Chains A and B, each alone.
Chain A
Amino acid sequence: MLDNFATRMAEVIAGYSVGIKEGDYVVISASTTAAPLVEALYEVILARGGHPQLRLSLPGLQELYFRQASEAQLTFTPPTEEVWINAVDVYIVVEAIDNTKSLAGIDPAKLSTAQQAQAHIVNTFFGRLGAGEMRYHLTLWPTAASAQQAEMGLHAYREFVYKACALDQPDPVAYWTAFRERQERLAAWLDGKTHADVRGPGIDLSFDFNGRRWVSCHGTLNFPDGEIFTGPVEDSVNGRVAFSYPSLYMGKEVSGVSLTFKDGLVVDASAEKGEDHLLAQLEVDAGARRLGEFAIGTNMGIQQYTGNTLFDEKIGGTIHMALGRSIPESGGVNESTVHWDIVHGMQDGGEIWIDGELFYRAGEFMVG
């Protein structure tokens, strides 16, 4: 049934998501584990007249690097990174995880050092993306490790990803086009509104979004996709949330995360598991304690938590928030090298009120 997985996926990404045109300079960043999808992308990009180039990593190298690298090595920027981020028209990242815990034993300080050293690359990336100078795309290729993380067999997991990408639809491109139109209507309704109240089991949070945009995510930047998000006004967030889902960031798992906000800042933070990691990330820079994103997941093809943010944040019936950097498209201005999405379930009666009107209840939109 899934023999055509890589080909169908490559066609949606090249044809719908990033729309490869003749002459596009395209870098595909992937692990060699994603070889079937990389080959399919390479072929379809060539067929559309693009110039595909590869940034391939081997499964064990990142761990090896972080175990052994000195300060000077951690802060070295390979020349390709500078060139690619400044020159590419399209940057496609294929996640193909060989071991979701490969960085579990690494000193968090080393991770922060490397992160900070690459800040100028990250800034250039977001700058060019925001200015419309390049297109970016993040997708995933199913591996045994991500299946294990999801507590599934590889075959069942592959089917899960296939459905989440709507590749089982007769015409996936038509499906995603209709999906985009529906979400754009919701974003248009939210345009000009100012205040959100989020209530329900585990959450009681309010924030302003006046002057901010709600952005529809329908497969352009991520695949699979399905969310609408905004950037809360940085000092307007008040209340608390006890996240119902675990979260994985930089290879480390935290669960039972509880955050209290006062005037935009995290003033109290705890976790049942991985609290050290949470507290270290909050200290990475000044922006790490603020929300850069508030979002609603809308992909009804994703109904289960699989320990992978790319899927989890899109689960139909959930919301998520990101600590750290805003996404410029939403008008948010928070700066940080951190961008950590954490997901909360709203299926059991969670509500979102916009300017006093019930907008969303238990996974269903009440307007638009």
Chain B
Amino acid sequence: MTADFAPRLARVLTEYCRPVHPGDAVLISAPVAAEPLVEALVEAVLRHGGYPMTRVHLPNLTEIAMLHASDEQFDFIDPGLMAQIERADIMYTILADENTKNLAAIDPARVARRQQGQRPFIERYLARCDDDSLRWNISAWPTQGAAQDAEMGLVAYREFCYRACGLGHDDPVAHWTALRDRQSRLVDWLAGKRRVEVRGPGIDLTFSIEGRTWVNCHGIRNFPDGEIFTCPVEDSVNGSVAFNLPTVNIGQELHGVRLVFREGVVVEASAEKGEDHLLAQLDLDAGARRLGEFAIGTNDGIDRFTRNILFDEKMGGTLHMALGQAAGGAGGTNQSTIHWDMVHAMRDGGEIRVDGDTLYRDGAFALA
């Protein structure tokens, strides 16, 4: 059923997500586990007249560096990599971890030290992403590691990813174009609205969106995609939520997270599993106790929780909220070193009202 996965995905990536034009230098960054997709992408890029550049990773080298590298080695920045990031017009990053826990036993201080050393590169990359001179996209290729996290066999997980990417539709590009247009109408309707009320099993929350923008995520930067989000006015969030799905943060899995907000700040927090981790993260900085994002997942091809945020936050029939740093593009001002998305299912009687009108009920939009 998924034999044509790689060429179909490559087609959507190069024709819909980040279209390749003649003369574009296209950087493809991927672990070797994503080999079928890399091949299909190189072929598609060549067909569109672009210049493919591949950056292929071996699964164990980051772990080896974490175990053995000195500070001088952490600080070394490959001039070749810098040249690639300067020259690229498009960058496809493909996630394909064979072991999603390969750094679980590494001292977090070592991980942070390496990130600090690579900062000149990361900053240059982010600057080029921010001004859109580098058209970036992050997608995923199914691996045993990701299937194991999802508690699925690889064959079933591959089918799940295939559906999540809308590749089962006769014309996936038409499918994504329709999703974009549908979401565009929702975002237009939401423009200028002021007050959001979210009610249902486990949730009773209100906040203001006055002056904020709703952003349509339809496959440009992430693939698969499917959400609309905004940033609540920082001190306007009131009420409580008892998340009915697990959440993963820095390799820790938490269950039964419950948060109470008063005037934008988390004033009560608990979890059935992982409460220590939750409380420690909330105390990291002043912005960690505020919401940086409120979003509605719209991808009906994603019908289960798989412990991979690229998929989970887009699940149809859910909403998610992020503690910490404001998501870009919506006018939010909250600042924090964390941005922690938590997902809540809305299919069983959840409702979202905007300025008194019902926008969303039982996991589906009531408007547009």
User: Which residues of chain B are near A64, meaning CB under 8 Å?
Assistant: 39, 42-43, 46
**Interface range for B:** 35 or more
With a cutoff of 8 Å between Cβ atoms, the chain B residues found around residue A46 in the complex are: 64-65, 68-69, 73
Q: Contact check, A61 vs B81: say whether CB atoms are below 8 A apart.
A: no
Asked if A283 is an interface residue, CB under 8 A from chain B, the answer is no
Scan A19-58; emit 1 where CB is below 8 A from any B CB, else 0. 0000101010000100100110011001101010111111
Q: Which of A25, A54, A70 has the most CB of B within 10 A?
A: A54
Residues of chain B within 8 A of A80, CB atoms compared: 53, 80-81, 83-84
Do the beta carbons of B64 and A56 come within 8 Å of each other? no
Min CB distance B133 to A, Å, is 15
A43 and B64 contact, CB distance less than 8 A? yes
**Distance in Å: Cβ of A289 to nearest Cβ of chain B:** 33
B78 lies within 8 A of chain A by Cβ: yes
Given the interface contacts A32-B32, A32-B35, A64-B39, does A56 sit within 8 Å of B83 by beta carbon? no
Instruction: Report the count of interface residues on A (CB-CB < 8 A).
Output: 36
**B245 interface contact, C-beta 8 A:** no
Could you tell me the distance between the alpha carbons of A112 and B43 in the complex, rounded to whole angstroms?
Answer: 21
Q: Is the CB of B46 within 8 A of A73?
A: yes
Q: How far is the CA of A27 from the CA of B55 in the complex (A)?
A: 13
Most B C-beta atoms less than 10 A away, residue of A53, A69, A78, A87: A78
Q: Which of A39, A61, A64, A79 has the most CB of B within 10 A?
A: A79
Partner of A39, one of B39, B47, B64: B64
Any chain B CB within 8 A of the CB of A84?
A: yes
- The reply on A65 being an interface residue by CB < 8 A is yes
Q: Interface readout for B49-60 with A: 1 if CB under 8 Å, 0 if not?
A: 101111111101
- Select one of A49, A70, A83 contacting B80, CB under 8 A: A83
B42 near A32: Cβ-Cβ < 8 Å: no
- The answer to whether the Cβ of A105 comes within 8 Å of any Cβ in the partner chain is no
A281 to B56, CA, bound (A): 32
Does B38 have its Cβ within 8 Å of any Cβ on chain A?
yes
Is A39 a contact of B61 with CB atoms below 8 Å? yes
State whether A35 touches B32 (Cβ < 8 A): yes
A-B contact pairs, 22 of them (CB 8 A): A32-B35, A35-B58, A39-B58, A46-B65, A49-B72, A49-B73, A53-B81, A54-B57, A56-B56, A58-B32, A58-B35, A58-B39, A58-B54, A60-B39, A61-B54, A64-B39, A65-B42, A65-B46, A78-B51, A79-B86, A83-B79, A83-B83
